[in-house]
Amino acid sequence: MTTDWLRNPASLFDIRGKVAIVTGASGAFGALAAQVLAGAGAKVVLAAGNAKALTEANDACKALGAETATIALRPNTEADCDAIIQCAVEAFGGVDILVVGSGLNDPCPVTEMSLERFEAVMDGNLTGAWLISRAFGKVAIAQGRGGKVVLVSSARGKLGHPAGYTAYCASKAATDGLTKALGCEWGKYGITVNAIAPTVFRSPLTAWMFEDNEKANAVRAGFLARVPLGRLGEPADLAGPLLFLASRASDFHTGHTVYADGGYTAG
């Protein structure tokens, strides 16, 4: 590797012109990821099942000046995953970055949870990630120019939870395993595979935890007692790790889960 980057270390994070696919692009993390990559100059393919929310997420990316394409599919089947990847190939000529932002949580005590509900969480968080990663890998390997895969794990992949998270915790622990296995398998192709594992960060789903009222204050205080940095996460706290994992700055990092959690899992 040349040392030209020493004159401009920020160039290590340059993803201008790269083709990025984001699944779950209408969700809290997926929409954020799409905007971060769009703002950094990538060409972004947004995939999600909610057509209306997908349009809104796409509009936000276009407002940042990005070239975009959309496909109203989730990575639920082999055919849908192939279609998502093909959308990127047809729109922009190839693939460079995959961010798997799609997922599912369905808290329920294990004794009350049906097998169907358990399988739905596992499929949404693990099988879908495996399917879309496989589809991406087939094209990326054939291209011969490397690539970046960023999965979404959770602090719950490392820690348990008392509120009916047996499916979610299991799926995210398996996501960490998938990250390691793919990182090992695809290293020879120059494809890095890593995961981001957040805790609570500001989004439409968690806005209530940031409010100043009795319920929110009590829940927040209990949670923050375990967070060394003493605050909840903000979108920018995820943007930095994402850009690192999507750029050549992370070319020697693979198979890792990066905990963007304020130190929550360190204790």
- What integer pLDDT is reported at residue 246 of this predicted model? 98
pTM, entire model: 0.94
Query: What amino acid occupies position 35?
Result: Q
Q: Are residues 124 and 44 in the same domain?
A: yes
Q: How many domains does the chain have?
A: 2
- What integer pLDDT is reported at residue 116 of this predicted model? 97
CA-to-CA distance for 78 and 123, rounded, in angstroms? 13
Helix, strand, coil: what percent of the chain each, to 5?
50, 15, 35
- What integer pLDDT is reported at residue 8 of this predicted model? 93
CATH of residue 56: 3.40.50.720
- What integer pLDDT is reported at residue 230 of this predicted model? 94
Beta pairing partners, 197:
259
Q: Are residues 251 and 134 in the same domain?
A: yes
Q: Which of 192, 223, 101, 110 is nearest to 153 (CA)?
A: 101
Q: Are residues 128 and 148 in the same domain?
A: yes
Cα dihedral angle (103, 45, 36, 49), rounded to 10 degrees?
-30
Residue ranges making up the domain that contains 52: 16-198+234-260
Q: Are residues 94 and 213 in the same domain?
A: no
pLDDT per position as a tens digit, 25-42: 999 999 999 999 999 999
Q: Are residues 207 and 83 in the same domain?
A: no
- What integer pLDDT is reported at residue 1 of this predicted model? 60
CA-to-CA distance for 114 and 106, rounded, in angstroms? 11
Residue ranges of the alpha helices (H) in 105-165? Answer: 115-122, 128-143
Q: Are residues 192 and 207 in the same domain?
A: no
Task: Catalogue the active-site residues.
Answer: 168
| Strand ranges in 74-173 using DSSP code E only, listed in sequence order | 97-100, 147-152
Q: Are residues 64 and 149 in the same domain?
A: yes
CA dist 111 to 104, 118, 164, 169, Å?
Answer: 20, 11, 9, 16
User: Which stretches of the chain score pLDDT less than 70?
Assistant: 1
